Amino acid sequence: MEIAHEAVRLFVSKGVAATSTDEIAEAVGISTRTLRRYFPSKEACVQPLLAAGAEAATRRLHAWPSGHTLREALSDWKDVTPLMDWPDAAATLDLIRLTRTEQALKTVWLQTYHAYEGQLAEILAERTGCHPGDLHIRVQAATINAALRVAAEHHAWRERDDRAEPDQDEGAELWEALRTALLTAAQGLPD
């Protein structure tokens, strides 16, 4: 996560093109060779941060109470703490903002979400007694996955007062955007 945070910090302050793998490695105090052993590109360095958000959402969905529809569970989640600690959420939002103009970062973003779609299918299959590979389950998982991704992008890309420093309230607003998107997606899912 330290590598991911430093990569985002450098990408935001210098730009992706102007940031080198060497600079990211130096910022975290490791050799470039070590960094390249774990990450095939400088853009891939941010994947752990993106994965943390997807993992948190997956954990939250996995914990929805048995016998409740997704809509019912989401209604109960109004006062639940946000999915991620604020420093991770803030860095993730900065990163998502960069995906609008940085194709390589957008690729990492989309690949990360795609990787968690199978876990969502397993959660839905467990609840319905279906197989995770069932077409209906896969479409439902893709719907939930897309709702989470679109909500995060919508929140990150919205107009905001650039003079205002993002704070914990933005984390709560992000959680509300994710919850709203899931409620919207759940309207099209069977009970």
CB atoms within 10 A of CB 152: 25
pLDDT band at 59 (very low <50, low <70, confident <90, very high): confident
pTM confidence score: 0.84
pLDDT band at 75 (very low <50, low <70, confident <90, very high): confident
Burial class, 123, CB count within 10 angstroms (exposed 0-12 / middle 13-18 / buried 19+): buried
The C-alpha atoms of residue 170 and residue 53 are separated, in whole angstroms, by: 15
Q: What is the dihedral of CA 92, 95, 97, 99, to 10 degrees?
A: -130
Amino acid at 20: S
Backbone angles phi, psi at 158, to 5 degrees: -65, 160
What is the pLDDT, as a whole number, of residue 112? 92
DSSP 8-state class, residue 133: T
The span from the first CA to the last CA of the chain, in angstroms, equals: 37
Question: Which residue in the block uniquely carries the two structure tokens 């969905």?
Answer: 61
Q: For residue range 148-170, list pLDDT tens digits in order.
A: 999 999 999 886 655 455 555 67
Of 87, 74, 89, nearest to 152 by C-alpha is 89
Alpha-carbon dihedral sign for residues 169, 171, 175, 180? positive
